[in-house]
Structures are given as structure tokens and as C-alpha cells.
Chain A
Amino acid sequence: MISTATATHAANLPRHGRRRFRAARIDWASLVGTGVTGFATLLIVTILAVILGNIVINGLPYVSWRFVSTGTATDMFDVNKAGILPMIFGTTARVILMTLFVLPMGVLTAIYLTEYARIHSPFTRIIRSAVNNLAGVPSIVFGLFGAGFFVRFIGHGMDSAFHSGGATVWGQPALLWASATLAVMTLPVVIIATEESLRAIPQGLREASLALGATKLETIIKIVLPQAVPGIMTGAILAISRAAGEVAPILFTGAAYYMRDLPKSLHDQFMDLGYHIFILSTQSPNVDKTRPLLYATVLVLLCLTFMLNIVAIFVRANMRKKMRMLH
């Protein structure tokens, strides 16, 4: 009888029975186990709350419109004079460029994996394990790769091909190379998110489209992709929020300690929010004077990444609900 009961019944029925049999004995193991694991969960939530609370309480009083809309005029370590517009600009620019690189690559790979490749062929397995592997490569290794491949190899190659005078235009850290490095780093995020959303589309939709005479490509473009847009967006947002806070990959590929002007072209260096936090917290001549500025900058970066994260969580939850209804 129990085996045919629903999940909730299965959970409730035996417990009622057991209580009647041994009401006198307390199940200590169960109590301790549940208590300890519950406490661990609570601990993680507390850690998060403490970190966020600390940053919001100390940072909020110093975030003002002037702070986010002016540049670092005279003293970059003084909260009353410094502004972070160039950093916000740099971070935004590199993230937008990165999205332009990573989205087509990631989406096409995901389309190949779900629509064209046979599921259990060894080749598909190799691609998939390469993607998984890429997701676990340390960000500093991407930094080294960006410096060795994009800046040294491609950048210098372009210089010696187009600028024969020995001028260094592309062969140095630049906005373009930082974005490309970040695109390589976030590729697995986009692939995995897009793949998930493509797989969630009922097979019947594709079959119906093919049965009506559409070709495979038409089916993908007109039927499959529009359905997958929320999933692709989730992937893009997650990639952006991951990339926005990363510092290690751009250390040697484009971030600048200080620049007087905003970057004007793709081969300029740029100032970056995350890198600026690193500079403020390690290079400041007067730690106590810089602290408010530091908190305010951290708060701005956190708002940026968290807003993106929360949007991604909502879009994804919505998508999952819709998919459940379709099935």
C-alpha cells in the first residue's frame, strides 16, 4: 500500500506508526544529525549575511551620485574627492565586449551538442569533458593564457603584420585582449546554460516542425531558438556576473593602475572596479582614510554582480516553470 502512496504519504505514514510504538524513546542520532546539518546551513546563511551586512552598513553612507559619476580627480585614495566612473566604464565595456565574443560561440556549441551530435558518441563526450574542464581552470591561468596567446602571439603578430615600423599598438595589454580572455573563461557557463534550456524543449515541437516540411536549420532557427531565449539570457547574465568581478584574468591583459582619460579604442588599457578594489586595499598610503572609499567601491561592485545574479535566478526559475507546463 505504501509503495503506491505519494511521496508525502510515504514520509508521514511510517512516522505516525513509529510514534505509537516507541513514544518513550527519543531518536538521538536523528536529532543530532538534523541539528548539526541544519546548523551548518544556518552558518552559511549567517556568513553571507555578515559579509553583506558589513559591506552595506559601512559602504552605503559614502555612495553618492557624485561618487559614481566623476573620475579620480586629484587623490584616488580620498573618499571626498575620488570617483569611480572610469572603473564602472571600464568594467562595463569589457563585459559588453566579452558578451559579444562569448555568446555566439557558446550558443553554437550548445546547438551542436544538443541538435546535431549523437548523444553517446565519443566525440561528444570529449567536447563535453573539455567544457567541464574549462569551467574548472583557475582564473589566473586564463590570465597567463591571455598574456601568452592574445597579447604576445596575436597582438604582436598583428603589429608585425600591419605596423612594420616596430610600433606597439596591439601587442600590449588592452581592452580587447581582456575581453577576449574573459570570453574564453566564461565560455563553459554559456554552453552549459544554453544546453540546459535546449534540452528542456519538448522533442515533439521539433518533430512537428520537421513533419511540416521545415528543414533542420529552419527548425532550429524558427522553433528551437526562440524557445531557448530565456535560457540563453540566463547563461549570458551568469557569464557577465562572473566576469564582472574577476580580476586575475585581466591583471596582465588590460587593467591599468591609473589612467587620466577613459579608454578611447580597443587597444587602450582601462581601469576596472575589481582591480581598483585590489589597489585601494593593498596600495593605500593611509588605510583608515581609504576605508570608506573602499567600502563604497565594494558596495557598487556587489550591487552590480548581485543584481545580475538575482535577475538570472528569476529568469531561470520562470523558464523552468514554463518548461514544466509544456511537458
Chain B
Amino acid sequence: MGLRRGHRAKPIEWLAEKLIFVVSLSAILIVFLIFIFIGREALPVVFGQMNTALVQKTIPVDQMDKLSPAQFQDYLGLTKEQFASMDRDTLKTLMELKIESTKESSTDKDASVNTAQWRYLLSPHRWTGYDAPKYIWQPVSNIPKYNIIPLIIGSLKVTIVALIFAVPIALAAAIYVSQLARPRVREFAKPIIELLAGIPSVVLGFFALIVMATVLQHIFRTQSRLNALCAGIALGFSVIPVVFSIAEDALTSVPRSYVQAALALGASKWKAASQVVLPAAIPGVFAAVALGFGRAVGETMIVLMASGNASIVSWHFFDSTRTITATIAAELGEVVFGSAHYRVLFLIGVLLFAVTFLTNMTADIVMNRLKIRIEGKR
């Protein structure tokens, strides 16, 4: 009976296993899809195929017979249907109009610059009206400027403030909760600190914007109310639970016998924690900080609301700051699909994804090593 049942069930068994297997691939698939679909939108900028120059090389009207239909469409910015519906005279007029408008707008030398090239994305350029080469992010202007250096500096600055604020506190709390606190205190403190992770980032952003910014401005007498310091500290609030729970896990996973041995040799509880447990769990602590960094770099709503969003190149913590994430969040909703601005926003999205991907990978590898070390497997 049992045997027959087993036989009858077999194809379904097989099918179910395959189905479950296929679904389990979705996590891998999604990581790939993220890469592909964000990268796809950024590709034209990566390969320098976008052209934002207002003034482009004009073609004299008498050469119009030499142009292919594809070149026409590209030159005059027409769709296939529009091109097909036009006769020769209309095209001729359009070409004349183009030459005329080009002549009008060519007073500024910047008008002929293709600002979506790598050169202008990364290195400073002396724009008309400036007396020195500058890094400028100014995507909505007559001549759009897409230099991403101010955004990268902004992201790093806010992240550094957040980590300086959050990491020492979170690590100290992790040591205390996992090693020094009495069991009753531990059972009380751990869920409370993890509850901090449950506060949505938009609420932290709101708190920084409405309450903290005013308080901090009073204390430090800063010029701009919203600045990197304010955003960084609020960001720290969201980093603390990340660092805390991973570090606490790592510290707790160190075998109890280590501590017992240290105590038996006459060490105090603090000595055992700081000189035996902490060194043993160092990879986990490193992973905690790495993931905290990833969280801080990628956080959006807090910096969007509390950092002031001025894209200036400055390492000063009291200056208003614009980060990569805030730029994407603030600008993607309003860009024209397929424009250079749109593509550059996806490009910095790819950059952000790449950075956090590498951080996560590093943390993952380090954590695995810690597990192997503690479980004693090779």
C-alpha cells in the first residue's frame, strides 16, 4: 500500500521539487534584474551616446540629398511616423529653421558642450561666468551640468557623520547587552533597541526636520538650519539598530566557554568581554560596521528631508548637503523619460547599488569566516 502510494505520488513529487527549486532562484534572478534594468537605463551615458549640446553641427540645406532617412530623423529629432508624413519641402524648411535657431543660441560657448560626457561628469570645468574650474551639479538649467562629484562628497560626508555618531554607541551597547548586563536587563534592553529599527525612516526624517534641526542650530549656531550634521545624526539613529543587532549576535555567538575560562583565571567580567570575547568576534563587528555603512549610504528619506539639499562641494559639516539618494528621490519624478538627466540619475543609482553590493558581499564573506572560525569547521 505504502509502496503503491509512493509510486503514484512520484511525478507530483518531482514537479513540486522542481517548482520550489525554480522559485528559490528568484532571489538570484532579482539581483541580476536589478543590475540589468538600472544599468540598461544608464548605458547611453556610460558609452557617451547622449548629446546634450544645444548647438550641434548643422548641415547645409543643399546637402539634404546625401542624408539617409535615419540620419534625418536623428538630426531633426523626428519619429518614424512624423518623417514619413513629411514631404521634401517641409523637411527643407525644418533644416533652415534649425540652422537659424542654432545661430541665435550660439552666443554662449558652453552651448556647444555635450555635458553628459564622462569628462564633465567627473572633472571640474570652467563654465561661462565662473572664474575657475568647478564641480557643479545643476541639471535643470539652460546648460545642464551633471558633475556627480558634489553628490558623492555629500553622501560620504553625511555617512561619516552618521558612522562617527552611531558606531561607538552601538558597539558599546552591544558589548554591554551581550556580556555585562544582568539577564533581566538584557531581556528588557534588546527588544527596545531593536524597536528603534521599526521606526520608518520618513518618521526619523520628520523628527530631524521639525525637532532636531532647531535644537542643533541653537547649540552650534550654524548658518543653515538643515545641514550634514543634522542629517548625519538622524541617519545615525537608523544605523544604530543595524550595527547593534549584528554586533550583538556576533558577540553572543562566541562560545560561553571562552568567558568561563577567562573568569576562572581571575579576569573581571569587563576584562573577559573586552579582551577575550571582543577579539574573538572582531570579524562580526567589522561586518556590523560595513552593513551600517551600507545602510547609511543608501538611506533616502532622512537625508532628503534633513540635509538641506544644496549641491555644493564642501567638507564642512555645518553646510547644507545633497546626497546621491536624495538627488534621485527629488529629481527622478520630474525628468523627461530618456533624457540625459534621466540617464545620469540611473547612472548614480548604479553607482549606489555597486557600492552597497560590494559592502554587503564583504560583510557576508567576513561573517561566514567568523562562523567557520567559531564552529571550528575548516
Interface residues, chain A, with chain B CB atoms under 8 Å away: 2-3, 7, 10-11, 14-15, 17-18, 27, 29-30, 33-34, 36-41, 43-45, 47-48, 51, 54-55, 104-105, 108-109, 111-113, 116-117, 126-127, 129-145, 147-149, 152-153, 184, 187-188, 191, 213, 215-218, 241, 244-248, 251-252, 274-275, 277-278, 281-282, 291, 294, 298, 301-302, 305-306, 309-310, 313
Contacts and interface: CB of A to CB of B under 8 A. Distances in A.
B376 interface: no
B323 to A, nearest CB: 10
A11 B256 CA distance: 11
B352 A140 contact: yes
Q: From DSSP, what is the main secondary structure of chain A's interface residues?
A: helix
Interface residues of B, number: 99
B359 to A, nearest CB: 7
A252 B38 CA distance: 14
B240 A44 contact: yes
Q: Which of B9, B38, B201, B260 has the most CB of A within 10 A?
A: B260
B330 to A, nearest CB: 9
Interface of B: 2, 5-6, 9, 12-13, 16-17, 19-21, 23-28, 30-31, 33-34, 37-38, 40-41, 168-170, 172-173, 175-177, 180-181, 189, 191-196, 198-207, 209-211, 237, 240, 244, 256, 259-260, 263-266, 268-271, 273-274, 291, 294-295, 297-301, 304-305, 325, 328-329, 332-333, 337, 345-346, 349, 352-353, 356-357, 359-361, 363-364
B368 to A, nearest CB: 8
Nearest to B367: A132
A130 B31 contact: yes
A47 to B, nearest CB: 6
Given A37-B175, A148-B41, A247-B301, A138 B201 contact: no
Q: SS class of chain B's interface: helix, strand, loop or mixed? A: helix
A44 B169 contact: yes
B196 A44 contact: yes
Given A30-B269, A34-B180, A40-B172, A144 B202 contact: no
A298 B203 contact: yes
Contacts of B195: 48, 306, 309-310
A88 B310 CA distance: 33
B41 to A, nearest CB: 5
B376 to A, nearest CB: 15
A149 B300 contact: no
B263 to A, nearest CB: 5
A184 B332 contact: no
Contacts of B27: 109, 127, 130-131, 134, 187-188, 191
Contact of A108 (B24, B211, B237): B24
A2 B168 contact: no
A113 B273 CA distance: 35
Contact of A217 (B9, B199, B301): B9
Contacts of B177: 41
Contacts of B203: 51, 55, 245, 277, 298, 301-302
A312 B352 CA distance: 31
Lowest 7 A-B CB distances belong to which pairs? A245-B200, A138-B298, A40-B172, A37-B176, A213-B2, A112-B24, A30-B270
Contacts of B356: 136-138, 141
26 contacts: A33-B273, A36-B172, A37-B176, A45-B192, A54-B211, A117-B24, A127-B25, A127-B27, A129-B361, A138-B297, A138-B352, A140-B349, A141-B34, A142-B34, A145-B37, A148-B40, A148-B41, A149-B37, A245-B201, A245-B203, A246-B200, A248-B329, A274-B202, A291-B210, A298-B206, A301-B200
A167 to B, nearest CB: 17
Contact of A274 (B30, B200, B210, B304): B200
B24 A305 contact: no
A240 B129 CA distance: 52
Given A108-B19, A137-B357, 11 more contacts: A3-B264, A34-B270, A38-B176, A48-B192, A126-B28, A136-B360, A137-B360, A141-B353, A152-B37, A245-B200, A248-B329
B33 A149 contact: yes
A259 B165 CA distance: 40
Contacts of B23: 104-105, 108-109, 112
A44 B5 contact: no
Contacts of A116: 17, 20-21
A105 B26 contact: yes
Contacts of B19: 108
A172 to B, nearest CB: 11
Contacts of B41: 144, 148, 152
Contacts of B193: 41, 44-45, 48
Nearest to A47: B237
Contacts of A3: 260, 264
A33 B277 CA distance: 14
A251 B206 contact: no
Contact of B291 (A45, A136, A302): A136
A217 B12 contact: yes
Nearest to A33: B270
